[in-house]
Amino acid sequence: MIEVQDLVVSYGTATALDHLTLTVGEGEMVALLGPNGAGKSTLANTLAGIIAPASGTVRIGGRLALIPEGRQLFPDLSVADNLALGGWRSGLRDPSSVYELLPRLAELAGRRAGVLSGGEQQMVAFGRAMMSRPEVLVVDELSLGLAPGVTADLAAHLAELNRSQGLAVLLIEQNARLAFELCSRAYVLESGRLVTEGACAELADDPRVAAAYLGGAVT
């Protein structure tokens, strides 16, 4: 679904992504780990077509939606309007299918998105992304700033969509436990370069990865 080859992205003279190669197969859930400033969000924005690559190729094999870091809702608009605008690309204006998936959103429909709690906002961002009927979903920092229960709830929804609809997911996370739980494979990005990749089960045993991402300090 996602095929990234030799991707280079730079801001002026600074290189954010340095010859990155990465794939996400059909129906696959893949994690991308890395510390702050590794270039994870740059990749997310490049996949979404917001940032143009300097060189290399990006192939997307279906409709892609992005749940951006920090939710990035339209704070002045209602939840229903936020969802409706999520259907800009797909032409889907009626959020009822998303309400079925996330019934809590139906209750919040009339509220201004800016006044919601972090978990509710992430749910709106999730619903908004689903409005574009994606075949592949890029999730940038699902768990950031959320209570564990809320994260688990959203993660369960992701896993369910993956199972029932074959939704491919690229999960960009700092929380390696969550990533390893959900995904089969993972990439580790540091300073714009891939440092390692492989099956989650193996990576979890890799002492370097374990030290950096599964250590006590990491939640």
Stretch binding another protein (CB under 8 A), from 20-28, 29-37, 80-88, 182-190: 80-88
CB nearer to another protein: pick between 65 and 176 = 65
Identify the residue among 12, 14, 52, 149 touching another protein (CB under 8 A). 52
**Separation between Cα atoms, residue 82 and residue 75, nearest integer Å:** 9
Binding another protein (rule: CB under 8 A), the pick from 38, 73, 136, 183 is: 73
The answer to whether 171 and 99 have CB atoms below 8 angstroms apart is: no
Among 6, 35, 50, 160, binds another protein (CB under 8 A): 50
| E-assigned strand segments in the chain | 2-11, 14-24, 29-33, 55-60, 64-67, 136-140, 168-173, 185-190, 193-199
Which residue, chain included where needed, has tokens 């972090």? 118
Give, in order, the Cα–Cα distances in Å from 15 to each of 18, 38, 63, 142, 194: 6, 11, 28, 25, 14
Rounded to a whole number, what is the distance in angstroms from the first to the last CA of the chain?
Answer: 30
Nearer to another protein, 35 or 114 (CB): 114
Task: Answer yes or no whether residue 66 interacts with another protein by CB under 8 A.
Answer: yes
Residues numbered 109-128 forming contacts with another protein, rule: CB under 8 A: 128
Q: Is 72 in the site for another protein (CB under 8 A)?
A: yes
Strand order in the sheet with 136-140: 64-67, 136-140, 168-173, 29-33, 185-190, 193-199
User: Any bridge partners for residue 14, and if so which?
Assistant: 11
Give the residue with the Cβ less far from another protein, 46 or 174: 46
CB 63 within 8 A of CB 137: no
Residue whose CB is less far from another protein, 87 or 192: 87
Kindly state whether residue 14 participates in binding another protein, applying the rule CB under 8 A.
Answer: no
Binding-residue pattern over the window 83 to 112 for another protein, x denoting contact by CB under 8 A: -xxx-xx---x-------------------
DSSP reduced 3-state for 179: helix
Of 74, 111, 177, 195, the one binding another protein (CB under 8 A) is 74
Residues that bind another protein (CB under 8 A): 48, 50-52, 66, 68, 72-77, 81, 84-86, 88-89, 93, 128, 132
